[in-house]
Amino acid sequence: MAEEDRQLVIKCRDRQEQAYHELMRRYEGYIYHLCRSMTGNREDALDLTQETFIRVFQGLDSYQLNRPFRPWLRQIAINTCVNFLQRHSSAPLFLDQPLGDGKLTLADTVASPEDPAREIEWREAGRFLQEALNRLPQAYRLLIVLRHQEGMSYREIAEQTGVPLGTVKTHLFRARAALRKEFSTYYAWE
């Protein structure tokens, strides 16, 4: 894949339109889901996906061919989303985003319809979790998405966001503590 990406970038630099289309086709779903996770809004995610690819194509000359393409692309998408979130009010985070490796969503993990009471309980818990995530500060929400949806390490998050490693760890700890506190009141945990 890396060599194919490299060849596509070279062709894009030569202004070959088909290469642009192929590069977009290959990564637009990934970028859309990342943007949707960070903004929580379909329309904003579509706009940010488009804006990301505009920035990618404008910046292809600065891309280093000896480096992996996907992390470079992801960084542009993250920066685009962070800039957007800084300009706009707090946007909700939706739970129909992929979990872990992107093959399942939270909706895929709910109980089967054969157990309606459990299904209702899962839906209610999912709704509550979504509301709790939406109450987190944007910086915390961004780190939660990068860590738990993208599966990035603390060091990768620090590199991608420009936030010091210690701050990443602290903010993730605080974000999880805030979510834990929300759930403790919801479920009456001690």
**Geometric angle at alpha carbon 126, from 120 and 128, rounded to 5°:** 105
**pLDDT digits 0-9 by tens, 24-45:** 999 999 999 888 877 777 888 9
Helices 165-187 and 116-135 sit at what angle, rounded to 10 degrees?
140
Fold of 94-190: Arc Repressor Mutant, subunit A (1.10.10)
Fold of 1-91: Rna Polymerase Sigma Factor; Chain: A (1.10.1740)
**pTM over cut 0.75:** no
pLDDT value, residue 89: 55
**pLDDT digits 0-9 by tens, 131-170:** 787 788 888 888 888 888 788 899 999 988 889 999 999 9
Domains of the chain, residue spans:
1-91, 94-190
Average pLDDT estimate for 93-103: 53
Q: Is pLDDT above 80 for 21?
A: yes
Q: Enter the tokens of residue 98.
A: 């992929």
Burial-class residue 87 by CB neighbours within 10 Å (0-12, 13-18, 19+): exposed
- Residue 35: name the closest of 88, 107, 110, 109 by CA: 88
pLDDT value, residue 119: 60
